[in-house]
Chains A and B, each alone.
Chain A
Amino acid sequence: MNLLRVEHLTKVYGHGDTAVRALDDVSFTVDAGEFVAIVGSSGSGKSTLLHLMGGVDRPTSGTVRLQGADIFERTDEQLAVFRRREVGLVYQFYNLVPVLDVVENMTLPVLMDGREPNRERLAMLTHALGLEGREHYLPNQLSGGQQQRVAIGRALMNAPAVVLADEPTGNLDSKNSADIMRLLRDSNRQLKQTLIVITHDEDIALLADRVLAIEDGRLVRDERRR
């Protein structure tokens, strides 16, 4: 069974003459444990797609089903719960909460769910992400690569159904980029974490099991690599 099923997804911004069709009738499915890269040039609609899959935005038409359920049938409040339990988002600009330290940022989705963070998982992630000894640093005391690792930690902490990463290396140098991608691939391999990464970097796309290409809001290529 498909973990994620995207059907006829369309998103239009604006009205009338100024309307922009950011996403135009996109359909595809993702299986559990897959590592999917979505590639496309700037403005192709890939970020819009990611936001829709993450339940951050609502589509003009079409559905996104995660584990069979249409996520947009949920109310905003239910959607918030969905975001903190079912998806992990990683952004190009990290988007950490500036007043919370590393551990607090990482455990935030769990805490918001009213659950006790899993200490073993936290220890495992801080170790794997190379953040040991920096647990109580605030975001502005960390380098860009470190901040992005915290963001990945936050996304993985809850063991979500799917991790969605939007240009996770877009703001990093090549060494940090390689580190981050290795971490993401390791999570996919070792934790069987379903992973969807948006990128315009073909080298990164090469790491993925499957590459979806988007142009002008349409899905133009779906290439399985292994």
Chain B
Amino acid sequence: MSVFSRFALRSLARNRTRTVVSIIGIALSCALICAVLTTVVSMSDMLYRRTAIDEGAWQVEAPSITADALSGLEGDARVRDHIEVTELGAVELGEANAADFGQWLFVKTWPQNPADEEILPAPEITSGRAPRAAGEVVLPHYLEGANLEPCGIEASGPLEVGSGISMQLGTRTVTLLGSDHDPTEQAIDGTSRSGAYFDEAEATQSFTADLGRLDLTVVGFYRAYGYSGTRALQGNSAYVSATGGEAAAALADDSPATCVFSLITVWNPNDAPALADELSHAATDSTGKATTHNALLRWQGVTGGSEIWNTLYQIAAVLSAVIVIAGVSLVYNSFAISVAERTKMFGLLASLGASRRQLRRCVLTEALILAVIGIPIGIVLGMAGCYAVFQLTGTGLAAMFDVDAYGMSVQVSASPAAIGIAALLALVTVLISAWVPARRASRVSAVDAIRQTQDVKLGRQARLRRRRGTTAGMGTGVRPHDLAYRICGVPGFIAHRNLARASSKGRVTVAALGISVALLIIAGIIGETLGYASGTALDTAGSIDLSVRIDATSADTGSGPLLRDDGNVNGAALQDTLARLDADARALDGAESMGYHTSYVSDIVVPTDMVSDASRGFFGVLLADGSWSGPVYVDFIDDATWSSYVASLGLDAAQFEDPAHPRAIALNEYDRSEGGTYGSYSPLAGPGAIDALTFDSKDGLFVGGVVSDDAGNPCVWYSAPDGSEQMVPLDEAVATRDAIEVGALADRAPAGITTHTSTLHILLPASAIALAENMGFADAQMDFTTAGDAAAASRFEDAFDDVAASFPELDCQYNNTAQTKQQTRMMSETVQTFIYCFTAICGLIAVANVFNTLTNSLILRRHEFAVLRSIGMGARSFRRMIAYECASYALRGLVLGIVLAGAVDLAIAASMSSSFTTFTPVVPWANLLAAAALVIVVILISVAYALQVNRASSIVDALREEAI
């Protein structure tokens, strides 16, 4: 071990606290990077597995692969595995069956995956089983029980599991007729790749029964979606068992109706695009290009072009950068101080002949020793943290990635690459941090070190003052006149001199404090912002846990106890029935009723004076006179809910609950999203009278609504599907007109009525149901709360359903919103857990930084303090001096941190408001206060610790240290 390594080790051992704090800092940075990367890798891996289970693990598909290319795959070192699906030919179902079952059925081999990997998931069997032996076949589910007209499939009786069938295979030929511009006919291969359906005007199809006949036993039916993520399974197919040799036979024959689809996995996902390119080059025009499985490759980190920025890895990169910066600010400080403290030692070594290189190495060796200890600890911590957080948020993650549906489990994927990168980044953090101090150590001048005067570099202002022959406060008398002196006496005076004249040392401290404060505030802001983003989805359903949508019409078509002679819902009768159902439901245990309402749709006219200036974004086009007409919801609220709603709005019960004079309340606060951004609207200017209208019906014409004609007069626009239209002046077209008095506007809705809509809601009490006479019934809704308990809501649903069984005139549909909310909440909690972990660790780094900087800057001044004490400074004065200095650091650090955080906050707010128009950036007072409080607590602890250390050393020792 060289003498310089020994120096490094000794100095680490001597400054144990700083060494430990530095190791903690390195370990935390490394742990955080490791955790972030592992989380991203694990999430990617879950998404990868989900995609692989859903769509198969294939990475490249070569449709109609050539014989050469197929044999080439065998010797290709990049290829891990490949399976083939062979298309054996087409079966003609014939014109008679085409309407029900399509015209063609393509016969293919059932995909046979290797034991360890599902390259291509086989279609879902709906009955029977998959084909296993020669002569077995599975057919599409829609053919089960079918009695086919005579066609390419011969069967005796309906197709069932166990049916024996005979299929005539042949070649389908498709001839594209060309367009008017280019009437050249073009024949294309008749495989499933070409598609099964063609417009007769664009293509003709012919069939030649030239590929033999297969006698088969139906062993099952599979679910045919009509589409597939792979071309191998595309189209309506009959799958026979592969017995080997089919692929070779299909490649050997010259028939354009047979082909081989090859699905390939590669060892290294990055090889997939190149392999696909090569296979595409090898392909002829008629075989088609090879494709890559992009949905899968994306999660393996293989994406083309800018898509990379849409992946989780971008987030990981940003977070890692933040962590590296935080880590550097911590470790750099530690080294800067450690080197400053030993300036004399380095100067002495330099005077004894140490080269700059040796001195630099001495510091870098220290850094490496710290890294070698800190990084493994960090990786262990990071992985442990990852396992803990994944354990903690398992259900939320499961909901987020929907893993249950795919039979997967949430698990941490320990990726050697992620761990390696984390270690490397941590090492880079340490080396960056140590580099500048190491250079500084190597440039220490031997003369300065031996001369032993401590460097005090005057600031510009201080130099100017000195040139004028005065110092601040010393101008006239002997006694200083500083403000600091007046307030705090000598301690304040000396502290002030320290701050003003040793400003370069102070700047390091202030910068460290500032970065830490900013880190704390920003972490809080990020947490809150993301919380807002994930929280907006949460409160849409309010406190409703079970809502029951009730329809009266679908139970019977055209007639029923609740229907009028004209086929429309009898509003009053429905209201009575609902009241009885509600009473029965309220008698049940397990949930609390939140009332019910019936919704009707009506065309209305809102007069000009009720339309607010800001309504354009909500209403869209207004009529020429500034009024608006269009369909709105009219909701009739049950009387009990109405009463409490009226009371909650502070309205007069006598005015709004008088059945003889019903007054409506119009909702006037709507949030809605349009193309990813959210907006808030208040379309109405004030209360007033509106008209609910119905229009005369005209044969063959539909009412298109009220518009202004060219002269600006309101007209009803009628139109027909054939394009004919008719404008009738409003007054002539109106069939019925019901005046509704809107007595008040409300900024919130009673339970069950959503404000996340772009349709106006007019609310009325159920007692005013007579107004619904001419309106169209939409639905009724009854809401219950179980205090967020999804299971209770589910139990209540069963109980309610039993009660509802005695109301055959009603048709109930249930929506367990508690379950949805619970899932959303879990996801949001999961996101927040990750954010909080990130925030907490960033906070820890910040705290360690403050502690390290302050304690070291104080311990560094041991000698100076000893001098002051030796000439008679008492302990109390000393404490006051330190307090004054620290207050100054804390204040400047806070200001710097708040400015830094403010800039970041503005940037975040700018990006947030582009996606949330209702997002208003607020000053994060709580974060500011928390950061300030935390910083002050840490400062107090650091100072207390540093003073403790200083007190422990005797004045004599400290004074003697002068001579190194």
Binding site for B on A (CB under 8 A): 51, 54, 56-57, 76-77, 80-85, 89, 91, 93, 95-101, 103-104, 107-109, 111-114, 116-117, 119, 122, 136, 138-140, 154
**CB pair B478 A57 closer than 8 Å:** no
**CB pair B867 A116 closer than 8 Å:** no
- Which one, B455, B474, B493, B502, contacts A136 given CB within 8 A? B474
Inter-chain contacts of A89 with B (CB < 8 A): 870-871
- Which one, B454, B872, B954, contacts A98 given CB within 8 A? B454
Distance of B912 from chain A, by nearest CB (Å):
47
Inter-chain contacts of A98 with B (CB < 8 A): 453-456, 501-502, 864
- Which one, A103, A136, A140, contacts B466 given CB within 8 A? A136
Binds A, one of B280-288, B344-352, B713-721, B873-881: B873-881
Q: A84 with B872: in contact, given A51-B956, A93-B963, A104-B474 (CB under 8 Å)?
A: yes
- Which one, A80, A83, A84, A103, contacts B875 given CB within 8 A? A80
B457-497 interface code vs A (CB 8 A; 1 in, 0 out): 01000000010011100100111100000000110011001
User: Which of B479, B871, B955, B962 lies at the interface centre, i.e. has the most chain A CB atoms within 10 A of its CB?
Assistant: B871
User: Which of A57, A80, A116, A139 lies at the interface centre, i.e. has the most chain B CB atoms within 10 A of its CB?
Assistant: A80
Inter-chain contacts of A54 with B (CB < 8 A): 870
**CB pair B870 A116 closer than 8 Å:** no
Q: A140 with B453: in contact, given A77-B874, A83-B871 (CB under 8 Å)?
A: yes
Other than the known A93-B452, A99-B494, what 13 A-B pairs have Cβ atoms closer than 8 Å?
A: A51-B956, A56-B869, A56-B959, A57-B955, A80-B872, A80-B875, A83-B869, A99-B456, A108-B494, A111-B480, A138-B456, A138-B458, A140-B453
Q: Answer whether residue B868 sits at the interface, using C-beta atoms and an 8 A cutoff.
A: yes
**CB pair B479 A111 closer than 8 Å:** yes
Inter-chain contacts of A97 with B (CB < 8 A): 494, 497, 864, 867-868
Distance of A201 from chain B, by nearest CB (Å):
18
Distance of B484 from chain A, by nearest CB (Å):
12
Q: Answer whether residue B498 sits at the interface, using C-beta atoms and an 8 A cutoff.
A: yes
Inter-chain contacts of B963 with A (CB < 8 A): 93
Q: Give the complex CA separation of A140 and B452 in angstroms.
A: 9
**CB pair A136 B875 closer than 8 Å:** no
Q: A83 with B453: in contact, given A96-B867, A100-B494 (CB under 8 Å)?
A: no
Q: A99 with B501: in contact, given A117-B478, A138-B456 (CB under 8 Å)?
A: yes
Q: Give the complex CA separation of A89 and B873 in angstroms.
A: 13
**CB pair A116 B494 closer than 8 Å:** no
6 A-B pairs closest in CB distance:
A84-B872, A80-B874, A83-B872, A99-B501, A140-B453, A98-B454
**CB pair B493 A111 closer than 8 Å:** yes
Distance of B874 from chain A, by nearest CB (Å):
4
Q: Give the complex CA separation of A163 and B842 in angstroms.
A: 54
Inter-chain contacts of B498 with A (CB < 8 A): 99
Q: Give the complex CA separation of A104 and B956 in angstroms.
A: 23
B54-90 interface code vs A (CB 8 A; 1 in, 0 out): 0000000000000000000000000000000000000
**CB pair A104 B874 closer than 8 Å:** no
Inter-chain contacts of A108 with B (CB < 8 A): 490, 494, 868, 871
**CB pair A112 B867 closer than 8 Å:** no
Closest residue of A by beta carbon distance from B869? A80
Closest residue of B by beta carbon distance from A158? B872
- A-B pairs with beta carbons under 8 Å apart, 25 shown: A56-B955, A57-B954, A80-B872, A83-B869, A83-B871, A85-B872, A89-B870, A95-B867, A95-B959, A97-B864, A99-B494, A99-B498, A99-B500, A104-B471, A111-B479, A111-B490, A111-B493, A117-B478, A117-B479, A119-B478, A122-B478, A138-B456, A139-B456, A140-B454, A140-B456
Inter-chain contacts of B500 with A (CB < 8 A): 99
**CB pair A56 B956 closer than 8 Å:** yes
**CB pair A56 B474 closer than 8 Å:** no
Q: Give the complex CA separation of A111 and B495 in angstroms.
A: 14
Q: Give the complex CA separation of A93 and B958 in angstroms.
A: 13
Inter-chain contacts of A117 with B (CB < 8 A): 478-479
**CB pair A104 B497 closer than 8 Å:** yes
Q: A101 with B471: in contact, given A81-B872, A119-B477 (CB under 8 Å)?
A: yes
Q: Give the complex CA separation of A89 and B959 in angstroms.
A: 12
**CB pair A95 B870 closer than 8 Å:** yes
Closest residue of B by beta carbon distance from A76? B875
Inter-chain contacts of B959 with A (CB < 8 A): 56, 91, 95
**CB pair A77 B490 closer than 8 Å:** no
B854-888 interface code vs A (CB 8 A; 1 in, 0 out): 00000000001001111111111100000000000
Inter-chain contacts of B864 with A (CB < 8 A): 97-98
**CB pair B454 A57 closer than 8 Å:** no
**CB pair A77 B497 closer than 8 Å:** no
Q: Give the complex CA separation of A100 and B473 in angstroms.
A: 13
Inter-chain contacts of A82 with B (CB < 8 A): 872
**CB pair B479 A116 closer than 8 Å:** yes
Q: Give the complex CA separation of A132 and B500 in angstroms.
A: 24
Distance of A159 from chain B, by nearest CB (Å):
14
Inter-chain contacts of A57 with B (CB < 8 A): 954-956
- Which one, B456, B469, B871, contacts A154 given CB within 8 A? B871
Q: Give the complex CA separation of A107 and B497 in angstroms.
A: 14
B window 178-196: CB within 8 A of A: none
Distance of A137 from chain B, by nearest CB (Å):
8
Closest residue of B by beta carbon distance from A113? B872
**CB pair B871 A139 closer than 8 Å:** no
User: Which of B490, B867, B875, B955 lies at the interface centre, i.e. has the most chain A CB atoms within 10 A of its CB?
Assistant: B867
**CB pair A81 B874 closer than 8 Å:** yes
Distance of B611 from chain A, by nearest CB (Å):
72
Inter-chain contacts of A100 with B (CB < 8 A): 494, 497
Closest residue of B by beta carbon distance from A87? B872
**CB pair B453 A99 closer than 8 Å:** no
Closest residue of A by beta carbon distance from B497? A99
Distance of B446 from chain A, by nearest CB (Å):
17
